[in-house]
């Protein structure tokens, strides 16, 4: 069916040009500020809604579009002002969390302002259709493609020819040297964010025209895909972002055409993983110091995994007070927490048990991402794996908890080692992409492998069984089991981190080549940390399955992975006590803020921003 191929190729080029625009936004910001801007999807959505409102006020679409692009560029600069600038001296990954907080605020704000409904967006060009054989193109497709190409060309000219463009690239290559040459580095960062905002708005307007509608959630998939496209191209490379965008667009449209719409993303992410194995630096992300890449790009950091290095900023005013309680203190707090059922209602116990599960997850991820420096944006898949192991064994095979716990723990540990294997061989930002892809593939398998997981229907009625002759049915006992597991995992993690193993993990994080040169079998240590992390995540998953008595893919979205990374950053990278604290706090917050009603998520974002503002190294301090 040549018709299908041609049609999918054309669709891929059109959608790919939108991905490329978003990827360019990611690349610009990453190049200049060494920061992954999670608010990029939100900027896209805002751009579309600004244009929508202006059109409703009676402005012609082109004028509305231009004004919206300007306004979104201003919002982009505001993101820099709020998310990046106050955190200059924080660990390099901290601003990632503040962009996430801003994205949460923007999404919730859009629902309040424009309502959650999809609303029609005028698209005059849409009725113009050209048939190319059996395939067809609409006026919007052609406009999208041409506008995107023109903007990309213009951007490259701007970066290579204009003074500001050169200053931007200089800032990307070496901010300190650039500053000494008289470049206003702070201004350049703002310019990069402004450009990212403008690109996001443009993409948003094009998407709105393509869908002929706007809705608050519209930025989410494009944020993820744009990020993946940027990583695929080689995060800091401008031509790479464009290529990555087009390739991703074509990939997924061909997958959709030949395998089926339902497996579109599954195939797109699996292919991404494959590309990564062959070209870990991204397609065009070579060591060449071209475009925005520069030194920062070539070292391929997300940002650098070294926490010490990123703390040693020029103005080291930050105090890194590290929270390092003795293990008995943590155990004492957990023991105190065990008294909750005596004073609180079942609701409080349920919430507290959820907090314990998320504390375990944060603990598990801080080992991998904090101590060993393998930033994972796919941890929810391991959590889900543990939960599904428990659900299937308990529900379909009647296994008792005493058998399920080790099965979930070691099964997930093996899975983690296996799933992290492609990521571990990679360095820098490629790790983030690999884990993102693994996380998405995991989620999509939960969703699509209906024979095993029952897909979106979920698995209900998971029996809690009995442990050591004690029925685990009562909620209080589930809570105590969760606390017990948390205490156990904490002790194990603490022992490991205090031992030479933990020191080796931190050595690998700080300087992998040096560790390697010193004779450390890096790969073996990384597999070990992945397995340990997976073991804890598996226990958390099993506990979650019993607690809910119901599992469905909805609990293991990318959103969950991002919240987990947020917990690790908020806790202080590599600080297990901090991770437990942050895990409890971030799991508690959405419940605790119920009084704010529809403002709940906005307050959630504000609290995150504020916490980060006065403890940039995280609550526990980095370790």
Partner 1 sequence: MIQRRSVMQGIAGIGLGAGAVALLPQRVAAQAGTVKFGFFGPFTGQFAANGQRFREAGELFLEQANATGGIAGRRLVVDFQDDRGDPLQSTNIAQRYVADAEVVAAIGSFTSTSSMAAGQVFAQAKMPQVSPTSSHPDYTKISPYQFRMPNTQDIVAELNAELMVNRLRTKRIALPYFQDDWGIFVAQATKAEIEKRGGEVILSEAMTQQARDFRAMITKIRAARADGIFIASHYAPSAVFMQQLRQAGIDVPVGGADPLYNPEFLRLAGAAAEGLVCTTYFFPSDPSKATFTEGYKAKYGREPDQWAAFAYDAIAIAAEGAKALLAAGRPLTREALRDAIDALPPYQGATGVTEFVNGTPRKPMTLLVVRNGSYQLYT
Region of 70-78, 278-286, 416-424, 544-552 interacting with partner 1 (CB under 8 A): 544-552
Per CB under 8 A, 594 contacts partner 1:
yes
Per CB under 8 A, 593 contacts partner 1:
yes
Per CB under 8 A, 247 contacts partner 1:
no
The footprint of partner 1 on this chain (CB under 8 A) covers a number of residues equal to 88
Separation between Cα atoms, residue 162 and residue 286, nearest integer Å: 24
Cβ count within 10 A of residue 523: 13
Separation between Cα atoms, residue 376 and residue 439, nearest integer Å: 9
- Give 280's DSSP letter: T
Given 213, 286, 299, 466, the residue binding partner 1 (CB under 8 A): 213
Per CB under 8 A, 320 contacts partner 1:
no
Per CB under 8 A, 113 contacts partner 1:
no
Residue 491 beta carbon to partner 1: minimum distance, rounded to whole angstroms: 26
Per CB under 8 A, 53 contacts partner 1:
no
Given 552, 561, 575, 617, the residue binding partner 1 (CB under 8 A): 552
Nearer of residues 615 and 623 to partner 1, judged by Cβ:
615
Region of 61-69, 164-172, 348-356, 413-421 interacting with partner 1 (CB under 8 A): 348-356
Residue 441 beta carbon to partner 1: minimum distance, rounded to whole angstroms: 14
Where residue 428 falls (left for φ over 0; alpha for ψ -120 to 50; beta otherwise) is: left
Region of 67-75, 208-216, 298-306, 401-409 interacting with partner 1 (CB under 8 A): 208-216
Per CB under 8 A, 132 contacts partner 1:
no
Region of 233-241, 283-291, 318-326, 458-466 interacting with partner 1 (CB under 8 A): 458-466
- For residues 608, 609, 611 and 615, what is the CA-based torsion angle, rounded to 10 degrees? 130
Nearer of residues 16 and 300 to partner 1, judged by Cβ:
16
61 contacts: CB under 8 Å, gap ≥ 6: 51, 55, 122, 124
Residue 172 beta carbon to partner 1: minimum distance, rounded to whole angstroms: 28
Q: How far is CA 413 from CA 127, 374, 419, in A?
A: 54, 16, 10
Per CB under 8 A, 440 contacts partner 1:
no
Nearer of residues 464 and 494 to partner 1, judged by Cβ:
464
Per CB under 8 A, 253 contacts partner 1:
yes
Residue 351 beta carbon to partner 1: minimum distance, rounded to whole angstroms: 5
Partners of residue 551 on adjacent β-strands: 459
Per CB under 8 A, 333 contacts partner 1:
no
Q: Are residues 572 and 621 in contact, defined by beta-carbon separation less than 8 angstroms?
A: yes
Residue 594 beta carbon to partner 1: minimum distance, rounded to whole angstroms: 5
Per CB under 8 A, 509 contacts partner 1:
no
Residue 449 beta carbon to partner 1: minimum distance, rounded to whole angstroms: 13
Q: How far is CA 160 from CA 166, 179, 224, 249, 291, in A?
A: 6, 19, 28, 27, 8
Q: Is 131 helix (H, G, I), strand (E, B) or coil?
A: strand
Residue 49 CA, chain-centre distance (Å), reads 24
What stretch of H or E contains 239? helix 238-258
Q: Are residues 90 and 247 in contact, defined by beta-carbon separation less than 8 angstroms?
A: no
Given 135, 334, 418, 520, the residue binding partner 1 (CB under 8 A): 135
Region of 22-30, 159-167, 420-428, 586-594 interacting with partner 1 (CB under 8 A): 586-594
What stretch of H or E contains 421? helix 401-424
Region of 38-46, 487-495, 574-582, 595-603 interacting with partner 1 (CB under 8 A): 595-603
Which residue pairs, CB below 8 angstroms and at least 24 apart, start in 230-233? 230/22, 230/23, 230/24, 230/26, 230/27, 230/30, 231/282, 231/429, 231/430, 231/432, 231/433, 231/436, 232/272, 232/275, 232/282, 232/283, 232/433, 233/23, 233/27, 233/282, 233/283, 233/284, 233/285
Region of 41-49, 372-380, 485-493, 584-592 interacting with partner 1 (CB under 8 A): 584-592
Residue 589 beta carbon to partner 1: minimum distance, rounded to whole angstroms: 6
Region of 185-193, 329-337, 496-504, 546-554 interacting with partner 1 (CB under 8 A): 546-554
Residue 470 beta carbon to partner 1: minimum distance, rounded to whole angstroms: 18
Structure tokens that stand for 60 in this block: 């012609």
Separation between Cα atoms, residue 384 and residue 553, nearest integer Å: 8
Per CB under 8 A, 98 contacts partner 1:
no
Site string for partner 1, 364-403 (x = CB under 8 A): ----------------------------------------
DSSP assignments along 500-540, one per residue: HHHHHHHHHHH-HHHHHHTT--HHHHHHHHHHHHHHHHHHH
**Exposed/middle/buried for 500, CB within 10 Å: 0-12, 13-18, 19+?**
exposed
Given 60, 124, 344, 406, the residue binding partner 1 (CB under 8 A): 344
């Amino acid at each position: 069916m040549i018709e299908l191929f041609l049609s999918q190729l054309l669709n891929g080029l059109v959608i790919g040009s939108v991905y490329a625009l978003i990827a360019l936004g990611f690349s610009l910001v990453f190049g200049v500020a060494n920061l992954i801007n999670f608010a990029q999807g939100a900027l896209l959505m805002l751009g579309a809604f600004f244009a929508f409102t202006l059109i409703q006020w009676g402005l012609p679409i082109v004028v509305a579009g231009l004004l919206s692009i300007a306004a979104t560029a201003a919002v982009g600069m505001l993101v820099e002002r709020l998310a990046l600038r106050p955190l200059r001296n924080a660990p390099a990954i901290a601003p990632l969390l503040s962009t996430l907080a801003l994205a949460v605020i923007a999404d919730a704000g859009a629902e309040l302002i424009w309502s959650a409904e999809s609303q029609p967006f005028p698209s005059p060009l849409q009725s113009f259709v050209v048939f190319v054989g059996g395939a067809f193109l609409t006026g919007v497709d052609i406009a999208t493609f041409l506008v995107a190409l023109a903007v990309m060309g213009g951007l490259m000219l701007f970066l290579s020819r204009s003074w500001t463009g050169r200053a931007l690239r200089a800032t990307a290559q070496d901010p300190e040297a650039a500053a000494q040459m008289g470049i206003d580095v702070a201004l350049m960062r703002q310019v990069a964010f402004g450009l990212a905002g403008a690109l996001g708005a443009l993409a948003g307007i094009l998407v709105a025209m393509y869908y002929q509608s706007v809705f608050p959630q519209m930025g989410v998939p494009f944020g993820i895909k744009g990020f993946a496209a940027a990583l695929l191209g080689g995060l800091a490379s401008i031509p790479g972002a464009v290529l990555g965008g087009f390739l991703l667009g074509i990939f997924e449209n061909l997958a959709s055409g030949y395998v089926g719409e339902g497996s579109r993303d599954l195939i797109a992410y699996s292919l991404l993983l494959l590309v990564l194995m062959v070209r870990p630096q991204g397609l065009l992300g070579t060591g060449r110091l071209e475009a925005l890449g520069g030194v920062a790009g070539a070292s391929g950091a997300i940002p650098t995994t070294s926490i010490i290095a990123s703390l040693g900023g020029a103005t080291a005013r930050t105090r890194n007070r590290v929270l390092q309680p003795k293990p008995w203190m943590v155990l004492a707090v957990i023991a105190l927490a065990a008294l909750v059922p005596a004073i609180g209602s079942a609701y409080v116990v349920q919430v507290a048990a959820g907090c314990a599960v998320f504390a375990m997850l944060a603990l598990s991820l801080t080992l991998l991402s904090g101590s060993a420096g393998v930033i994972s944006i796919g941890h929810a898949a391991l959590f889900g794996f543990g939960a599904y192991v428990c659900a299937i064994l308990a529900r379909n095979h009647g296994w008792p908890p005493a058998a399920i716990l080790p099965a979930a723990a070691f099964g997930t540990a093996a899975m983690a080692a296996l799933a992290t294997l492609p990521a571990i061989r990679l360095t820098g930002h490629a790790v983030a992409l690999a884990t993102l892809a693994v996380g998405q593939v995991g989620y999509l398998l939960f969703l699509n492998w209906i024979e095993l997981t029952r897909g979106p229907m979920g698995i209900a009625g998971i029996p809690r069984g009995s442990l050591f002759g004690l029925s685990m049915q009562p909620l209080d006992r589930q809570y105590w089991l969760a606390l017990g597991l948390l205490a156990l995992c904490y002790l194990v993690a603490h022992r490991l981190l205090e031992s030479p193993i933990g020191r080796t993990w931190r050595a690998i994080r700080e300087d992998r080549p040096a560790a390697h040169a010193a004779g450390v079998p890096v790969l073996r240590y990384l597999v070990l940390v992945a397995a340990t992390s997976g073991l804890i995540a598996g226990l958390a998953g099993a506990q979650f399955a019993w607690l809910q008595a119901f599992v469905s893919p909805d609990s293991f979205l990318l959103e969950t992975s991002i919240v987990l990374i947020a917990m690790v950053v908020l806790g202080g990278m590599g600080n297990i006590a901090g991770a437990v604290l942050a895990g409890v706090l971030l799991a508690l917050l959405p419940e605790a803020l119920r009084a704010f009603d529809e403002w709940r998520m906005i307050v959630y974002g504000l609290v995150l921003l504020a916490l980060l503002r006065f403890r940039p190294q995280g609550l526990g301090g980095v370790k």
